[in-house]
A and B are shown apart, each in its own frame.
Chain A
Amino acid sequence: MTSQTPSHILKPLRHNRYLGLMLGVLVLLICLLFSITLGARAIPLQTILESFTTFDNSYDHLVVQTLRMPRSLMAVTVGAALAVSGALMQGLTRNPLAETGILGIEAGGALAVVATLFLFGSSSLTVYAAVAFLGAAIAAVTVYGLGSLGRGGATPLNLTLAGAAMTAFISSITTAILIVSQRTLEEIRFWLAGSLAGRDFDLFFQVLPFTVIGLLLAFVLGKQITTLSLGEDIAKGLGQRTVWIKGLTALSVVLLAGSSVAIAGPIGFVGLVVPHTVRFFIKTDYRWILPYSAVLGATLLLVSDIASRVLLKPQELPVGVMTALVGAPAFVYLAKSKVKR
């Protein structure tokens, strides 16, 4: 990719990646404060800070500590998880269009949750989380396996088409369940659109460890993925045990994608837009692409969530719709410019 941005602005960032990352974290923190401030009732910064230092059970303090803070943290976690899983998949499959939504992984998680709710009624949160992981993992393995069986191996076109077919297949079964059982539909339709509103915080804290493990695993693998993204033959030639690295990367992807589906439902395109934006600054080094993606993904989802709350007050948009509206045009652009024909 040739970056068109003025080089004199980007140069210091390229030379000092720590500085860039710090800057990103700073922006993220500012967005986090905004996210806590804004809402049906604007809460001044002073009160927010006081709720941390001298918590006094007042209404504002409760809102900050039990509603806005957890929701914002969810946005940060899910955004980081989605962006890193997208970056990992793009490196692993050498496919610029790889992303959890497009490859049907989120649809798999969603079907698993809907089917569990339909078959066994409301179950414990742990079961939902486990089932979402399982569904995401099965979908990921199936799509990658089927896509790589196509002519020319796991090319972007094969994987994207396999993902689209699996998504169609899976979501038609999901639809069938929702038609047969209106109760399931009533309980789950807001979740299916991908949203951070009214999420269960207990579920979030149960899933959080998996997300953290997935992120750490990804960061540790950064160097190996850089090598792998040069091509499997080159990586093998450099002495890498590619099977292991691929397996661990896939594990990290499933942990990240599964946990984000369990927390927030299917939220598409964050994993597509963010890594490509990061590559404007950092071309190939996954040791840096992954943390940058995490920070930028968290910021993007946080901003999308703020927008989804503020744009149509008092109505709230599902954040998955916001990200799709930003991300799908980006997909169209990438398909036009990046896929070799």
Chain B
Amino acid sequence: MKDGLLVRWRSLSERESPLLSWRVAPRLPSMVLVLALLGFAAFLVNVQQGEYPISIPDILKTLLGFDTGNPDHAFVIYTLRLPRTLVAFMVGVALAISGTIFQGLTRNVLADPSIIGINAGASLTAVAVIVLFPAAPIYVLPVAAFLGALLIAVLIYSLAWNRGSSPTLLILLGIGLSAIAGAFTSLMITFGSIYDVSQALVWLAGSVYGRTWEQVFALLPWVGLGIPTALVLSRHLNVLNLGDEIAKGLGSRVEWQRGLLVLVAVALAGASVATAGNIAFVGLIAPHAGRQLIGVNHQNLLPVAALLGGLLVTLADLVGRTVFAPIELPCGVITAVLGAPFFLYLLIYGRSR
């Protein structure tokens, strides 16, 4: 191949289309390697920084199971910083993949789960649980948030259905539905006790503060299932991205494939909102930066954007924790302050397609 390597897993019968067909850009392996290394570096620095700094050799020793001669190290790393950093990275990956899928489907580089209302729906149900049932166990929160995200996605999808799910309409409807969900969220905030409300506000702004292994393991299955499914479906995303008519002409079952992709994107966004609240604009920035690095083929774009997303949220957490210490800003505020101007930049220059 001139423009890369074609990898195929052939199914038994030659006539059927292959289950997996991968057009790998020559730059992809090195790009993924570099991004993974950068991600790991950000990860180490995030574990290292804090009120109790630990040197990087000590971190590596502790992680590999050697004794550093200081029992505090194991506690600080394993109980406090490692789960938090892992959550940040996984949430970033999930949001970036979700954003890449939504952008590909709506054929609009501005579509981000936080803009089209998915995150607002997840936030609403989670805040409802925090305020109405303050005694509810922590594992209820992710389930509630996921259901809220799903509800909004189903609403957007069904409202846009009768005209062949027009891409622009999806975004405007998302904004409208966000407003409805937001109204109910303010309702909850007005009536909660002040303690529950300020807890809910930290969560709403998108924060990985105080996340434990419980949250890591709650998030892991979603990410573990969502990423491979997204990668398998990325081929269809390429076709759908050409537009409904062309996709139909090429033999795609448009509504089915789109529904499946939406489901994966919602599952990833909902699970990450459930774990870390509304971290906005990651699904906007990561895919766009990914396109600059590797191009528009979604089979290459998805892994690159995913790693960029993980890197972004880890760094945002690092900045939020350290810049204004001892006050800790939620990483969602950092990504929004970065992302909203970027959104506007894209609005002005980016919609050239």
Contacts and interface: CB of A to CB of B under 8 A. Distances in A.
Given A269-B179, A328-B177, A189 B332 contact: no
B191 interface: yes
A148 to B, nearest CB: 9
B233 interface: no
A165 B166 contact: no
B296 interface: no
A317 B186 CA distance: 10
26 contacts: A149-B347, A157-B172, A158-B347, A160-B172, A165-B340, A165-B344, A168-B339, A169-B337, A169-B341, A175-B204, A175-B333, A176-B333, A178-B198, A178-B201, A179-B330, A194-B186, A268-B183, A317-B187, A317-B190, A318-B186, A321-B184, A321-B187, A329-B176, A332-B159, A332-B180, A335-B172
B190 A324 contact: no
A166 interface: yes
Interface of B: 110, 114-115, 159, 166, 168-169, 171-173, 175-180, 182-184, 186-187, 189-191, 194, 197-198, 201-202, 204-205, 280-281, 327, 329-330, 332-333, 336-337, 339-341, 343-344, 347-348, 351-352
Interface stretch (A115-123, A125-133, A180-188): A180-188
Contacts of B351: 150-151
Contacts of A180: 327, 329
B67 to A, nearest CB: 39
B340 A179 contact: no
A33 interface: no
Contact of B198 (A172, A182, A318, A329): A182
Given A150-B347, A321-B190, A336-B169, 9 more contacts: A169-B341, A172-B280, A172-B336, A175-B330, A176-B333, A317-B187, A320-B186, A331-B175, A339-B172
Nearest to A195: B190
Given A169-B336, A172-B336, A179 B347 contact: no
A339 B170 CA distance: 12
B177 A332 contact: yes
Given A168-B281, A176-B205, A176-B330, A321 B186 contact: yes
A329 B183 contact: no
Contact of B175 (A164, A192, A317): A164
Question: Which of B110, B168, B176, B339 neighbours the largest number of chain A CB atoms within 10 Å of its CB?
Answer: B176
A341 B169 contact: yes
Contacts of A320: 183, 186
A329 B166 CA distance: 19
Contacts of A253: none
Contacts of B327: 180
A147 interface: yes
| 10 tightest A-B CB contacts, nearest first | A169-B340, A324-B183, A172-B336, A335-B172, A332-B176, A328-B180, A165-B343, A328-B179, A331-B176, A149-B348
Contacts of B343: 161, 165, 168
Contact of A324 (B166, B171, B180, B202): B180
Contacts of A268: 179, 183
Contact of A341 (B166, B187, B189, B194): B166
A149 B179 CA distance: 25
Interface residues of A, number: 51
A202 B116 CA distance: 40
Given A157-B168, A172-B280, A147 B340 contact: no
Interface of A: 97, 101-102, 146-147, 149-151, 157-158, 160-162, 164-166, 168-169, 172-173, 175-176, 178-180, 182, 185-186, 189-190, 192-194, 268-269, 315, 317-318, 320-321, 324-325, 327-329, 331-332, 335-336, 339, 341
A166 B176 CA distance: 15
Contact of A179 (B176, B202, B280): B202
B186 A185 contact: no
B347 A341 contact: no
Contact of B114 (A158, A168, A315): A168
Contacts of B194: 182, 185-186
A190 B337 CA distance: 25
Contacts of A327: 179
Nearest to B206: A172
Contacts of B184: 321
A190 B190 contact: yes
Contacts of A165: 115, 340, 343-344, 347
A161 B171 contact: yes
Contacts of A332: 159, 173, 176-177, 180
B189 to A, nearest CB: 7
Contact of A146 (B115, B191, B348): B348
B330 to A, nearest CB: 7
Question: Which of B180, B339, B341 neighbours the largest number of chain A CB atoms within 10 Å of its CB?
Answer: B180
A97 B341 CA distance: 22
A321 B185 CA distance: 9
A335 B174 CA distance: 10
B173 A336 contact: yes
A190 B187 CA distance: 10
Contacts of B182: 324
Given A157-B168, A324-B182, A325-B183, A335 B176 contact: yes
A161 B177 CA distance: 14
A165 to B, nearest CB: 4
Nearest to B336: A172
Given A172-B205, A175-B205, A179-B202, A147 B186 contact: no
B202 A189 contact: no
Contact of A151 (B179, B191, B344, B352): B352
B347 A162 contact: yes
A146 B172 CA distance: 18
A185 B180 CA distance: 23
A97 B340 CA distance: 21
Nearest to A166: B340
Given A151-B352, A325-B183, A332-B177, A97 B172 contact: yes
Contact of B201 (A147, A151, A175, A317): A175
Contacts of B205: 172, 175-176, 179
